Amino acid sequence: MTRDMEIISLGNELLIGKVLNTNAQWLAKRATNLGITVKRVTVVRDDVDETARAIRETLKRKPQFVVTTGGLGPTFDDKTLESIAKALKRRLKVNQVALEMVKEKYQTYASKKGSNSCAELTQPQVKMATIPENAEPIRNPLGTAPAVRIDLKDTILIALPGVPREMEAIFDESVAPMLKSASCGICFHETSLYVDNIMESALAPLIDRVMHDNSGIYVKSHPRGAENKPHMEIHFSMIAADEAGTQKTLQKALAQLSDLITRNDGEVFPEKQVTS
């Protein structure tokens, strides 16, 4: 059974081109390596109504996992949890476990500055512990704002912060084990070979033949050179539990395509093996 995931990235900065969406790329790669199929990436600006609409639309497709990134901080434009609450028709409440997480972080920060201050949290600080009802806070090992997990009927919804190092740390500590368990031993395997002196149009029917002859293999060409000097990376990938069998299938497909390319006067370079 295929385990699937959708990613929703939040932030005006992504949509105006100020910031590259490296979080989505990182998440997609990590989830794929863990045997999860990423079906879609959606980018939404910092607007409660639009984000809530995007979440509802995503949940209608019933992916096993939905991961949001961004919008969990203390500022006015951090609206992800409000948007999730609206999408799910739930109230926002101060979660005591999340509140203790936030308090502990600020106490640690104060201690590092040599202060013993036990001042009350400000409203923006409490905001980071205000989450939808029946949601579970997830520890943030590097930052202040907890992540959030909500278990729905068909989907597990996880809200991660947008700061890349915090997002990655929470994912590796708390989300990756969940995805690995859900994938039931399925892993993503890939390899590449590099080709010169053959146009992509001439390569296309050769790739079609190899995919037809090797069930489960996905082959994609990636042009790297100029039109008058073609240089191509050809990427082979397969999702399966049987690592030995998968490697055998990958190598068989690679050898077949290499032979077909050579017959068509292309020049093949050694593959760059990557296995997850």
Are 240 and 129 members of one domain?
Answer: no
Query: Rounded CA gap, 43 and 69, in Å?
Result: 10
At which of 122, 151, 182 does a domain end? 182
Looking at the chain, which runs of residues are DSSP E strands?
A: 4-10, 37-44, 65-69, 92-94, 130-132, 136-138, 147-151, 156-160, 187-196, 218-223, 231-240, 267-275
Tell me what pLDDT residue 264 has: 84
Kindly tell me if the per-residue pLDDT of 272 is higher than 60.
no
Give the Cα separation of 220 and 62 in Å (integer): 28
Claim to verify: residue 85 and residue 214 sit in the same structural domain:
no
Which of 156, 12, 15, 168 has the alpha carbon at shortest distance from 75?
12
pLDDT at 269 over 80: no
Same-domain check for residues 129 and 198: no
User: Region 174-194: what's the mean pLDDT?
Assistant: 92
> Are 145 and 217 part of one and the same domain?
no
Q: Which one of 182, 210, 229 terminates a domain?
A: 182
Percent of the chain with pLDDT over 70: 95
Tally the domains of the chain: 2
- Integer CA distances (angstroms), 151 to 36, 66, 120, 156, in order: 18, 10, 31, 5
Q: Predicted confidence band at 2 (pLDDT cuts at 50, 70, 90)?
A: low
CATH number of the domain at 209, please.
Answer: 3.30.70.600
Report pTM.
0.88
**131 with 152, same domain?**
yes
- What is the domain extent for residue 162? 4-182
In the three-class reduction of DSSP (H, G, I as helix; E, B as strand; rest coil), residue 237 is classed as: strand
C-alpha span between 229 and 196 (Å, rounded): 8
Q: Evaluate if residue 219 carries a pLDDT over 90.
A: yes
**Each residue of 104-153: pLDDT tens digit?**
999 888 888 776 666 689 999 999 999 999 999 999 999 999 999 999 99
**Average per-residue pLDDT in the chain?**
92
Would you state the pLDDT for residue 110? 80
- Tell me the per-residue pLDDT of 221-238, one tens digit each, with 9 for 90 and over: 999 877 678 888 999 999
One domain, residues 20 and 130 = yes
Please state the rounded mean pLDDT for residues 43-65. 97
CATH number at residue 95: 3.40.980.10
pLDDT at 13: 96
- Packed helices 200-213 and 243-263: angle between N→C axes, nearest 10 degrees: 140
Alpha carbon 203 to its chain's center: 31
pLDDT at 90 over 70: yes
pLDDT at 276 over 50: no
Please check whether residues 146 and 243 belong to one and the same domain.
no
Q: What's the average model confidence in pLDDT over 57-77?
A: 96
Same domain for 109 and 223, yes or no, is: no
Is 164's pLDDT higher than 60? yes
